[in-house]
Amino acid sequence: MSTIFFHRQMKHQRHYLVSAVIPYVYILLLAAGFLVVSLMAGWLHQHSNETPSLFGFEINMTETTATVLYALGVFGEVLLLTSVYLVMPVGRLAWSHALIGGIAATALWEITRHILIWYFSTLSFVSVIYGSLATTIVILLSFEFAAIILLLGAQVIAEYERIDHGGVTPLDND
């Protein structure tokens, strides 16, 4: 990501220890967020046969609820990827630019996720070939796609910054 935002490194400097600590603190915060989301998903799954109530309102677990929960998940994914683009690069990034990168990465991930699910459920023989290691292979392949999509979202932001500054990098605009 530092290569994509190289024009920012020339303009802004950050102590190397701060750059080394930020990803770990960010991952700890993400882990706490994922724990909360996992607990909520587990609660919803446990009560999916019932009609649960939340703040006194009955929740009907139908297709509409599933669609709303999926939309909330995609919205959370956009916010998560936007926060990655706000925190990780050196220098301050405009919220709108990070949001554009987050939306682009989310759209690419959702398309890739649906294609991977279709591929592994219909065409793949990964469980036959790798046996008990199949889950590891699938997870590693998904991580590879996620890393590429994260970098593509960062590239969208860098190109949008270049377009926003009249076709030149922000470094040349000073």
CA distance 2 to 63: 43
pLDDT at 48: 62
User: What values do phi and psi take at 58, rounded to 5?
Assistant: -75, 130
What sections of the chain are H helices per DSSP?
6-11, 16-46, 63-87, 95-122, 126-130, 134-164
CA 52 distance to own-chain centroid: 30
User: pLDDT confidence of 173, banded at 50, 70, 90?
Assistant: very low
pLDDT at 105: 94
Please tell me which residue, 102 or 127, carries the higher pLDDT value: 102
pLDDT at 50: 62
Residues contacting residue 138 through CB under 8 Å, at least 6 positions apart: 120, 126
CA distance 91 to 13: 7
The lowest-confidence range among 31-45, 76-90, 148-162 is 31-45
Q: What is the mean pLDDT of the chain?
A: 80
pTM of the model as a whole = 0.72
Say if residue 51's pLDDT is above 70.
no
User: pLDDT confidence of 172, banded at 50, 70, 90?
Assistant: very low
Per-domain boundaries in the chain: 6-164
